[in-house]
Amino acid sequence: MTVDTELHEHTLVIKLNRPEAGNALDPDTGRGLVEAFQRAAADDVRAVVLTGAGEKIFCAGMDLKAFAAGVDTAPIGQGIAALRSCEKPVIAAVNGVALAGGFEVMLYCDMAVVAEHARFGLPEVKRGLFAGAAGVYRLPRRLPRNIGLELVATGDPLDAPRAYAMGLVNRLTPPGGVLAAAIALAKAITVNAPVSVQESLRVARLCQDLTEEELDAVAQTAMGRVFSTKDSREGPRAFVEKRPAVWSGE
């Protein structure tokens, strides 16, 4: 299996499992990601952690050997699309280098926990290629614009401490501690009402894409969904009764 999954309470850990190839994305990996994110849609999953096997490389991007051989790479795009369309919070647990498509995968995640030795980059321009999985515009959105443009144009890498200082990542951990820290962050999310988290995230993800008026309309719809749930009554009741809320997800 090139993609493994394991459920930790309400957190689904998805692991890219091609360490011998830098966890690079090939057609099998793309298909594995599609299946994994289908699993993430289940009611018992409230958050997703995406990581790579080993402690050196999160994901080296597209498998260039497969690309050079003319293999159909459509399944890779389908795998990234499955990540992009996931309605649950997705946390990247970056255990090492994340380059090219691997960095773009991280940028599609909502949050990132990274090892101190991790490095990130879009080196496509150094190879006469193009970062076609949204990296060329997602990166300048996530960093000060001029820094993002520099990384896109030079293809040079960014180290984890600087990425953390500029707010690109949420947590910085010693080597070997990434997955545990990412699961802990996921747990801080999964203790909350599932529909409330999902609908709040649905709006928050659009903050850079819509006008204030458009966001208000989307937020009103999301709020209507939240206040129609049983959990919207359970939360206040639990607060009044001074007990932990028991979420049904309904």
Catalytic residues: 104, 124
Residue given tokens 């709020």 in the structure block: 223
CB 163 within 8 A of CB 157: no
Compute the distance between CA of residue 74 and CA of residue 134 in angstroms, rounded to an integer: 16
> Residue 231 to residues 25, 46, 180, 199: CA-CA distances in angstroms?
39, 14, 28, 13
Give the start-end residues of each E strand in 71-185.
Answer: 90-94, 97-99, 111-115, 119-121, 158-159, 171-173
- Who contacts 170 (Cβ-Cβ below 8 Å, separation ≥6)? 91, 111, 112, 113, 185
Compute the distance between CA of residue 211 and CA of residue 192 in angstroms, rounded to an integer: 28
